[in-house]
Structure 1
Amino acid sequence: MLKRKADLRALLFVLFSIGVQAAGFVLLPESWAAKILLCVAACQTSFVCAVISHNTLHCPMFKNRGLNRVVQFLLTLGQGDPVSSFVPGHNLGHHTHLQGPKDTMRTSKMRFRWNLLNQLLFMFVIGGDLLKHTYRYVWSMRTRKRSWFRQFLAESVLLYGVYVALLAVYGVEPFLLYGFIPHLFSSWGIIGINFVQHDGCDHEHPVNHSRNFTGRLVNWWTFNNGYHGIHHMHPGLHWSLLPEAHARELSPTIHPALEQGSLLAYCWKAYIWPGRRMTYDGKPLVLPPPIQDESWVPTMAEMVDVSLGAEG
């Protein structure tokens, strides 16, 4: 039933992540050391669920549409956001209009002098624009593709229904520690990684448009999300095939600075020391004048070659 056996690990991780988050509510530890440990674990696993959601929306796990819907429900609980909400901002805006006025997540919106703030606050600066674009698209889909609209609504009702139930049964503190904070971290991470992967790159260049991280550990943990350039070139390519495709198509021609071996080493250099905002080829980044987001809803023709997830 799975399209690729590699997705068994992804599916098991989703269940594990939900289990980690549920453990906080079941165990209800009294010591703050245990509370913080469970909260941190839930944050990390929730973020990985968001990565799996990203992969799944581009390339659904199962051949059966009904099973893919179920996966999206599980991922919604794991990451704390309706999975279908990825589609307008990421699959359609970011992938088809990279760094342009239709990309609400373009990195040029960040203009703090201290580069660390650009990374830390990325989600909070672009979040309002992203939400407006998302719900404009969602509203348009109620008449254009009702099956997708119903899936989005079902994911939303499930998530917020569970939130209300957790608040009612367990109270505010457990809800914040094992629900809201991990899910906020998940959104912060999956949106913020956009800044790491694209800031200072040349979005008009055929290969130098994305920063890649080729370390084994980070790619094992994030299901090959480090191979971002080849993902942009082939959005529907299954995550397990990205390293091979990167080595074959991208590695021979990409600028060496866009093939980073260590995510942590890059972050230290980019945000701590020397912490300067640079282009990929080592020049100080000169930001273009600020531009307004273009208010748009993609036509059905623009969505033909873009995966919309289980209902795509």
Structure 2
Amino acid sequence: MTLFRHPRDRIPVLLFTLMFALDLTVFFTATSWWLPILWLGLGIIPKGWISAWNHHHQHVTMFRHALPNRLLEIMFGFQTGVTSHAWFLHHVVGHHRNYLDQTKDEAGWKRADGTTMGEMEFSVLNWLMAYPRAYRVGLSHPKALRVFLGMGALQVALLGVLFWHNWYNALFVFLLPMAASLYVTVWATYFHHVGLDVTEHSQASYNILHKGYNLMTGNLGYHTAHHTKHGLHWSQLPELHAQLAKDIPATLYRQPGIPFVWTGTEAKIDPAESELGAIAQ
């Protein structure tokens, strides 16, 4: 019996584990004040990418059994600030069911008066409300809520032990990166759907076809495909996008952000410049 649901998850999980091992190495060995701060800065972008994989895991768990999944989620929690089942509640059974209705969307981009939030406003509000909204959704999913609360308590307890051992290193190696990664994740979601007040999946998401971006995020750029069939494994999203491409408006393609593009990040692009034709074939 294989441990992984999909063999393609083996290398990503190995890389996440190596990153976490480096976190622990810095935490337990750093004696200078500047090294944990340097590690915080160096880890912002990689942990932002790991956040995308944590998202994939909440849609399709990487292991076949509960125990390795829970252990992986503890590691993800320290790397991304999103603990076990938080994404599942807020995002999978929340946002994915409601994103076409801005009066219900857990990651809504509209204000109560129907106007569009600014980038900073959306990011701060959804960052602060991520866990309260996950809990609210969980009230309708008691089994998942129990896991969310239990694993959340365990995550806090483990973080408390780290602070007891070395509060300074715990602050810069774990707590601040957790908060920053959650914020970066929320900020990135602003560009997935903002301004798209529609009723069809094919018109409701922006897509990013940049190869480097999709390599590092597990094909998260194929966002229309992801919302069309959110239980599909990340490795199968390009194939589904190719099937859907003819129905996706040419206006729904964007550039990736830093470090893949340093000017015009997240700007809309002409799909003629984005290898759309090759993918559609």
How does the TM-score come out when normalised to structure 2?
A: 0.82
Query: TM-score, normalising length from structure 1?
Result: 0.74
Give 1:255's match in structure 2, choosing from 246, 249, 253.
249
Alignment correspondent of 1:302: none
Higher relative contact order (CA 8 A, sep 6+): 1
Between stretches 190-199 and 65-74, larger displacement belongs to 65-74
5+ residue gaps in structure 2? 271-281
The count of corresponding residues between Structure 1 and Structure 2 is 264
Q: 1:226 aligns with which of 198, 201, 221?
A: 221
Q: Within 5 Å, give how 1:28-177 maps onto structure 2.
A: 28-30=30-32, 32=34, 34-98=35-99, 99-109=101-111, 118-139=118-139, 141=141, 144-145=142-143, 148-171=144-167, 173-177=168-172
CA RMSD, Structure 1 to Structure 2 (Å): 3.0
Change (3 A) 1:129 1:161: closer
Gap regions ≥5 residues in structure 1: 281-312
Deviations 1:5-39 (A, max 9, x none): 1101221122122123223212315263x444311
Alpha-carbon distance in structure 2 between the residues aligned to 1:36 and 1:73: 22
SS class of match (1:109): coil
Aligned match for 2:22, one of 13, 20, 23: 20
8 Å CA contact retained: 1:14, 1:49: yes
Q: Which residue of 2 aligns with 1:213?
A: 208
Instruction: Return the letter of the residue paired with 1:69.
Output: R
Q: Residue 231 of structure 2 aligns with which residue? A: 236
Q: CA deviation at 1:79?
A: 2.0
> Closer, same or farther in 2 for the Cα pair 1:128/1:26, shift >3 Å?
closer
Preserved contact between residue 208 and residue 253 of structure 2 (Cα < 8 Å): yes
Identity percentage of aligned residues: 22
Structure 1 distance, partners of 2:60, 2:217, is 16
SS at match of 2:64: coil
Deviation at 1:210?
0.4
Question: Could you tell me which amino acid in structure 2 is paired with residue 51 of structure 1?
Answer: A
- Tell me the amino acid that sits aligned with residue 8 of structure 2: A
Paired residue type of 1:216: K
Say whether the 8 Å CA contact 1:104–1:129 is kept in structure 2: no
Distance 1:95 1:22, change over 3 A: same
Q: Deviations over 1:185-224 (max 9, x none)?
A: 1111222221111112243234121011111111111111
Structure 1 residues 38 and 121 mapped into 2: Cα distance closer, same or farther (>3 Å)?
farther
User: Any conservation in 1 of the 2:90–2:134 contact (CA below 8 Å)?
Assistant: yes
* Residue of structure 1 equivalent to 2:182: 187
**Change in 2 beyond 3 A, CA 1:203/1:83:** farther
Letter of the 1:122 partner, please give it: F
The alignment partner of 2:103 has SS state of coil
- In the alignment, the residues of structure 1 paired with residue 33 and residue 184 of structure 2 have an alpha-carbon distance, to the nearest angstrom, of 27
Report how far residue 259 of structure 1 moved: 2.5
